[in-house]
Amino acid sequence: MGPTGIGKTDLAFQLYDSSDVEIISVDSVQVYKHLNIGSGKPDKTVLKKYPHKLIDVIEPHESYSTGKFQTDCIKEIKAINASNKTPLLVGGTMLYFKNLFNGLSELPESTEEIREEVELEYQQKGLKAMHDYLKEIDSLSAKNIHPNDAQRIKRAIEVYRLTNKPLSLLHQESLVEMHEDLKQFDIHQFAIKPKDKEIHRDKVATRFQDMIDKGLINEVEDLLNKKQMNSGKSSLKSVGYKQVSDYLEGHLSFDEMISKAVTATRQLAKRQMTWLRSWNRVIWLQEESGNNLDIVLDTIN
C-alpha cells in the first residue's frame, strides 16, 4: 500500500522476480478497460512479464463497487493459493483494502434515477454546496469525507436518499466481519511512505505532466467518443480523468486543467497517507530504500 506515485509497482515487480507470488491490483481505476495512461496502468509489454489480476475487467461505461471488488479479489486469492503461490495485493485504493480486511458495510446499490438526480445537483450547485448539504443530513460522514472528494460525497447523499438513514449510521449497523475465506491466511500489510513530503509533491506534478506528454488528452477524447460513454460515468470522475474531461468540454483552460489535476492528485496522496496512519499492524517501508525487498521477504518467508 501507499500514496500514488510512491513506487508500489516497482517493489511488486521485484517481489515477483524474487518469490513465488501472483499480483492482484487494488486500484479502482485500473479495473476499467481503456483507462491506461491516467490510471498509471503498466503497459501491455510489462503486463505480459508481470501479469496482474483485476486489471481491465470492465468497460468504462460500467459501474464497479467495493463489494464487487471484494468478491472478485477473494476469488483470485483462493485461486492463487490453490496453485501454491502467494497472493500479492498492490495498489492505492484504501477503501478496497479496508473493506477487504476489516469488513464490508452492506449498503444498498444506488438506482440510476437517484444517481442521475444527485449528479445533476452536483453539476448545478457545485461541490461545496453538496458537502454543506451532507453536513445537514449526515454530519459524521461530512466530517470523515474530504470536501473535495466528490465521488464519496455523492455516494453518501445517494445512500441517504435510498434509505432515509445517514451513511455513517448504516456503517455502524451493517458492518460485516472480515470475509470467512480470508481468516485462514497470514496477512502481512506493508506501506511505503515518502522520504520527503515536498519531493513527493513535486513528483506528483511531474508524473501528471508525463501522462499529458504520453497522450492522456487523446485517451480521454477517445473515451468520450465511445458508445454509452459521457463525462458523468464513474470511470471519468477519477482524479486526472475528471480534469481532462472538464478541459475537453470547455469548462477549464489547459493551465487550469493541469493545476486542478495536480492539486487533486496531491489531495488523493494526502488522504491515502491519512488512511494508512490509522492502519493497524502495518509494516512501514521507506520510499526508494534498498532494504524494502529484504524486509518483505524476511516477513513473509
Per DSSP, 267 falls in state H
Check pLDDT > 70 for residue 71. Answer: yes
CA 21/CA 83 separation, integer angstroms? 10
Q: Where are the domains of the chain?
A: 8-104+177-300, 112-174
CATH architecture of 112-174: Orthogonal Bundle (1.10)
pLDDT of residue 171: 72
CB atoms within 10 A of CB 202: 13
CA 54/CA 69 separation, integer angstroms? 8
- CA angle centred on 131, ends 247 and 251, rounded to 5°: 15
pLDDT tier for residue 50 given thresholds of 50, 70 and 90: very high
Mapped onto helix, strand or coil, the DSSP state of residue 251 is: coil
The answer to whether domain 8-104+177-300 and domain 112-174 are alike in fold is: no
Check pLDDT > 90 for residue 178. Answer: no
CATH of 8-104+177-300, one of 3.40.50.970, 3.30.360.10, 3.40.50.300, 1.10.3210.10: 3.40.50.300
> CB–CB of 21/88 below 8 Å?
yes
pLDDT tier for residue 142 given thresholds of 50, 70 and 90: very high
pLDDT of residue 175: 55
Check pLDDT > 70 for residue 176. Answer: no
CB under 8 Å to 205, separation ≥6 — which residues? 262, 266
